[in-house]
């Protein structure tokens, strides 16, 4: 990353292979500037090529998770070409989350609005503090949240998604949990413990099985049921031929712990 990108996105990786990416524009409610979008894209590309990374946590500095796009930057030089490039850049970054071979977990505190809410929806898992609030509020400014609607409608029911998109109203963390936008809601001081439980469980599984499973999970969602079963059966057969799966099944038969490597 460039120096500017490093300042807007902090990246750390621990000895277990858990990478934490922290949105670092707290004074701007971590709005997705062009620089932050680029920093995220570069980090996802780096992580995709690093077999030592096992889990990614997407966090944020300050009181808010992410307020969406940087509206001041968007308004500074309006043109169709610029907006097409900007939203294309954002879409590529969002897709990179889904395309990573490792789980990505959103750690949400404060508000997550518009593309910030989209960011939560694109992550594989999401834990929210009780003070978190979610909205796709662009419609309040005359701008329907079209790109966030893609992620939102793949997480919550159609009518719930459309209600959020057409009203721009906030929903609470508990409502987000009930609608399936997040996996759990905790007290603020218990948020990291909730993340750690998932991390501990994921790290106990073979990386290859998780990678194959994540890729298949999202592919099959976009297919008809017959094609989905064909893809899933082939994926499972290939997974079964991996050394980790063969060892896991043998360990089950022999009533012992599997001896996995990676």
CATH number at residue 45: 3.90.226.10
> 245 and 232: one domain?
yes
- Look at residue 132 and tell me if it is in a domain: yes
Q: What is the pLDDT of residue 77?
A: 85
If we measure between CA atoms, which residue out of 152, 75, 141, 89 comes closest to residue 118?
152
- Look at residue 227 and tell me if it is in a domain: yes
> 46 and 110: one domain?
yes
Q: Is residue 2 predicted with pLDDT exceeding 80?
A: no
For residue 254 the two structure tokens come to 């022999």
Cα(55)–Cα(107) distance, integer angstroms: 13
> 85 and 185: one domain?
yes
> 98 and 164: one domain?
yes
- Look at residue 190 and tell me if it is in a domain: yes
For residue 200 the two structure tokens come to 């501990």
Kindly state the average pLDDT of the residues 76-99. 95
Cα(93)–Cα(43) distance, integer angstroms: 10
Q: What is the pLDDT of residues 54-79, one digit of tens each?
A: 999 999 999 999 999 999 999 998 89
Cα(259)–Cα(262) distance, integer angstroms: 10
- Look at residue 12 and tell me if it is in a domain: yes
- Look at residue 262 and tell me if it is in a domain: no
Q: Is residue 3 predicted with pLDDT exceeding 70?
A: no
* Position 260 confidence tier, pLDDT thresholds 50, 70, 90: confident
> 183 and 58: one domain?
yes
Q: Which of 10-19, 56-65, 75-84 has the lowest mean pLDDT?
A: 75-84
Give the CATH number for residue 241. 1.10.12.10
Q: What is the DSSP letter of 205?
A: S
> 219 and 135: one domain?
no
> 211 and 148: one domain?
no
Q: Is residue 142 predicted with pLDDT exceeding 70?
A: yes
- Look at residue 258 and tell me if it is in a domain: no
Q: What is the pLDDT of residue 186?
A: 98
Cα(169)–Cα(163) distance, integer angstroms: 8
For residue 231 the two structure tokens come to 């893809």
Please state the domain count of the chain.
2
> 187 and 239: one domain?
no
Q: Which pairing describes strands 125-129 and 184-186: parallel, antiparallel, or unpaired?
A: parallel
> 141 and 75: one domain?
yes
Q: What is the DSSP letter of 137?
A: G
Q: What is the pLDDT of residues 213-254, one digit of tens each?
A: 999 999 999 999 999 999 999 999 999 999 999 999 999 999
Q: Is residue 259 predicted with pLDDT exceeding 70?
A: yes
User: Which domain does 78 fall in, by range?
Assistant: 3-203
Q: What is the pLDDT of residues 150-208, one digit of tens each?
A: 999 999 999 999 999 999 999 999 999 999 999 999 999 999 999 999 999 999 999 99
> 162 and 217: one domain?
no
> 219 and 194: one domain?
no
Helix (H), strand (E) at residue 21: strand 18-23
Which one of 187, 203, 219 terminates a domain? 203
């Amino acid at each position: 990353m460039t120096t500017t990108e490093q300042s807007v996105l902090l990246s750390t990786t621990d000895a277990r292979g858990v990478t934490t990416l922290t949105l670092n524009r707290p004074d701007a409610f971590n709005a997705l500037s062009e620089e932050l979008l680029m920093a995220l894209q570069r980090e996802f590309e780096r992580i995709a090529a690093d077999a030592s990374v096992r889990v990614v946590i997407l966090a944020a500095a300050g009181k808010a998770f992410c307020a969406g796009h940087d509206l001041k930057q968007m308004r500074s030089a309006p043109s169709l070409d610029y907006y097409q490039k900007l939203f294309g850049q954002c879409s590529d970054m969002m897709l990179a989350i889904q395309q990573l071979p490792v789980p990505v977990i959103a750690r949400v505190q404060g508000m997550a609005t518009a593309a910030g809410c989209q960011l939560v929806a694109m992550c594989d898992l999401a834990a929210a503090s009780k003070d978190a609030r979610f909205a796709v509020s662009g419609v309040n400014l005359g701008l329907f949240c079209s790109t966030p609607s893609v992620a939102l409608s793949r997480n919550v029911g159609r009518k719930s998604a459309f209600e959020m998109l057409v009203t721009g109203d906030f929903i609470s963390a508990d409502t987000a949990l009930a609608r399936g936008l997040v996996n759990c809601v905790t007290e603020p001081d218990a948020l990291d413990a909730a993340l750690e439980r998932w991390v501990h469980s994921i790290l106990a599984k073979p990386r290859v099985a998780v990678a194959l499973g994540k890729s298949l999970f999202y592919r099959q969602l976009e297919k008809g049921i017959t094609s989905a079963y064909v893809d899933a059966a082939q994926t499972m057969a290939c997974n079964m031929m991996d050394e980790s799966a063969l060892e896991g099944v043998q360990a089950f038969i022999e009533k012992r712990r599997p001896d996995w490597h990676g």
